[in-house]
Amino acid sequence: MADQCGPDRGTSKHSQPRERAHFRSLSYARPGQSDGRSSTPATATTPISYNDVTMSIHLLPDDVVEKIAAGEVIERPASVARELIENSLDAGASHIRVRIVNGGLSEIQVSDDGCGIPYHEVSLAFQRHATSKLAAFEDLSNLRTLGFRGEALASIAAVADVTLATRFQDEPVGSTARYRFGESESLRAEAVAAGTTVTVRDLFANLPARRKFLRKPSTEGQQVATVVARYAIAHPEIAFSMHVDGRLALQTLGSDLLDALRRTHGPETADVMLPFEDADSGLRIFGFAGPPSLHRSSSRQVDIFVNGRWVQDRVLARAIAEAYRGLLPTGRFPVIVLLAEIPPDRVDVNVHPAKAEVRFADPDKVFQVAYRAVHTVISDPALVPAIAGLEAGAFVPWRLGGAEASADSAQFPQHALYSQAGPDAAAAAGRDGPPVALAAGALPPLRVVGQVQQTYIVAEGPDGLYLVDQHAAHERVLFERFLAERQAGQSQSQALLAPITVGLGASRCLSLQRHQARLRELGFEAEPFGNDVALLRAVPAILADRPASLERAFIEVLDAVAAADTDRWLEHSLVRLVCHSAVRAGETLDYAQMREILRALEATKSPRTCPHGRPTMLYLSSNMVAREFRRR
Ligand code: ADP
Ligand code: MG
């Protein structure tokens, strides 16, 4: 990309040809306003009191106005990150690097290789309502940039200590500027690499009341990470990286959406998601939708983007909810990334101070296209784990076993299982209750009938037949057992009689050194032995029965630990670990082994899916069998 700001700005959705003269020339949207303010006495002579009915009307002092206005735009570190990233995207960057220290409270830095700001425009960029993206009000209806209000830099500079280093692509020398809590401290011409780096320190240090409202650094940092992840998804062609307290937490390569998703959602989740796309009258809806078996307790992984901007949009959220209706357990939410591209004159982005909402000119059309796009892919019969030849939906993964009970259920007393699972499950077991979420230990007692294809356990429940994938079921059991033992502080490691050597290669050996502590948490005791071999002394207890898998499992878990992001490393690596620890497809199981797997599965919290999100079982209800045999 020769000209980052120019017409050939890659595949970005905002890559409309940009007239440099238009984009780069900053202009005031509301000239003269600040003059008006400052010509008024900054401090009213009348003492201010809320009860004082005689208080005269007065203009607020500039710094108060600034702080109030800044408060609308900048609420927390994540809003700073969002605004700075949007600026980098608007500048045509192909690499965006985000660093935070102490959850962003001490420092947030966003660095890009975009077009930069010319020296003579730097101070203008920090003024409120100064933008290079909008000249007249009418331009709003044809907006192709993420920013347009010219408020972000001014707002951030009003509430933090901000340093900007930038070099405009056509200028030989760059500039550095510093603003501290609304005051300009310095502006210098300096040698700076092309692009822009904004460093924001001590956010809200001048507004203790605001700072008090912030959550603990780890929570604020998590929100920044979410913002970065969302932009990485919305702009997969751009390489993002994020460092948290000096450690790399997220990195995308700037390739395609699936790759970005694998890095933000983890490969286990991304790989089971299904691509969808639909278009109609200039509107394009596309993305990746999780299969119905993948669901979450909150809507945090329902991500909606309109023209490259993450938004909370009711129309699209409703379309998604409708598309999944009846396919998800009640109270559960899908994992989905939906991107809408819509001509800028058909969407109003100027309806929310933080630009988090939009309004469509034709919401019904948007709803229809989005609903169709998502529904078509997730209701594909191949995805519904019902037994072939029977109607889709036969599998009711969120129902309690007894909910669709038939006469023969009397043979299977609904014994202690439900009460063990707690009051929610007990209530839900009532016939009239609504279907409940998986959270309740919702599997009825199952009786082993036999094994087929050395892969599936055939079982009978009070209300029908179950075909259980032995590997997937065992994975679920081991996954939850591991987590439960970990929580109980039990040792999960088993020493090997004699250490074994595992050939790793140099780079994995380095990775082993770096991640030794996490591997130990998983139960692996290993140390580098020379430059490219590891000595494995102990392994996770759940793996101990599978001596043939030790080496492979160790390497894969090591890779998973190294690749996983900070928060979900355990989940990711555990998925790999249990995959190696569980019984395989193709393994003959005796009756006792099968019964043990089913008993243990009954006791898990989410018996219907394996940790990868795939179903553990198919279900054929007694009613359905009777119907198919024309018995009723
Ligand atoms: P807006 O994005 O709404 O225009 P901002 O206050 O965020 O307002 O930025 C003001 C101006 O500063 C932008 O219009 C743009 O010209 C310039 N600017 C800000 N950040 C960058 C950046 N990272 N690269 C290039 N120009 C930038
Ligand atoms: Mg901006």
Which atom of ligand 1 is least distant from the CA of 132? 14
Helices (H) and strands (E) counted in the chain, each on its own, are 21, 26
Task: For ligand 1, atom 1, name the residue with the nearest CA.
Answer: 150
- Residue 334's pLDDT is 94
Of 20, 79, 87, the one to substitute when testing ligand 1's pocket (max ligand atoms within 8 A of C-beta) is 87
Pocket around ligand 1 at a 6 A CB cut-off: 26, 83, 87-88, 90-91, 112, 114-117, 125, 130-133, 147-154, 196
Alpha helices in 347-501 (DSSP H): 363-378, 417-420, 423-429, 470-487
Gap from CA of 26 to ligand 1 centroid (Å): 9
- Torsion angle (degrees, nearest 10) of CA 555, 560, 562, 563: 140
Query: What pTM did the predictor assign?
Result: 0.57
Atom 18 of ligand 1: nearest residue by CA position: 87
How confident is the model at residue 51, as a pLDDT? 53
Give the per-residue pLDDT at 7.
36
Which residue type, as a one-letter code, is found at position 456? Y
DSSP character for 328? S
φ, ψ dihedrals at 479, nearest 5°? -60, -50
Nearest to 625 by CA among 456, 382, 386, 443: 386
Distance 126 CA to ligand 1 centre (A): 9
Residues β-bridged to residue 248: 243
Note whether 301 and 335 are within 8 A (CB). Answer: yes
Tokens of 537: 């002394």
**What is the best residue among 89, 96, 127, 153 to mutate for testing ligand 1's pocket, by most ligand atoms within 8 Å of CB?**
153
**381 CA → ligand 1 middle, Å:** 48
Judged on CB neighbours under 10 Å (0-12, 13-18, 19+), 436 is buried
Q: Which atom of ligand 1 is nearest to the CA of 148?
A: 3
CA distances for 302 relative to 298, 318, 515, angstroms: 9, 11, 31
Question: What is d(CA 103, CA 125) in angstroms, rounded to the nearest whole number?
Answer: 26
- In DSSP terms, 96 is beta-bridged to 112, 240
Q: Residue 277: helix, strand or coil by DSSP?
A: strand
Q: Average pLDDT for consecutive 10-residue bins of the chain (632 residues)?
A: 38 37 35 40 46 69 73 86 95 96 97 95 86 67 72 91 95 95 93 96 89 90 94 95 94 92 89 91 94 87 93 93 83 93 86 76 94 87 41 28 28 22 30 26 80 94 89 94 88 88 91 92 92 92 89 92 79 90 93 94 84 83 81 79
The ligand with the least distance to the CA atom of 88 is 1
Q: Sheet of 161-167: strands edge to edge?
A: 183-190, 174-180, 161-167, 195-201, 107-112, 95-101, 239-244, 247-251
pLDDT at 85: 96
Tokens of 541: 């207890």
Beta bridge partner(s), residue 179: 162, 184
Alpha carbon distance 534, 499 (integer Å) = 10
In this structure, which residue's CA is closest to atom 8 in ligand 1? 150
Separation of alpha carbons 464 and 624, rounded Å: 9
- Output the pLDDT for position 17: 33
Contact 512, 563 (CB under 8 A): no
Tokens of 481: 């057992």
Two tokens, residue 336? 């989905």
Which residue spans within 89-173 are E strands per DSSP? 95-101, 107-112, 130-131, 161-167
> Which of 101, 73, 81 shows the shortest CA–CA distance to 210?
73
10 Å CB burial of residue 64 (0-12, 13-18, 19+) is exposed
d(CA 536, ligand 2 centre) in Å? 52
pLDDT at 37: 40
The pair phi, psi for residue 153, each rounded to 5°, is -60, -40
Ligand 2 center from residue 599 Cα (angstroms): 57
* C-alpha 146 – ligand 2 centre gap (Å): 7
By DSSP bridging, strand 617-621 and strand 464-469 are antiparallel
At residue 327, the 3 state secondary structure works out as coil
Report the nearest atom of ligand 1 relative to the CA of 83. Answer: 7
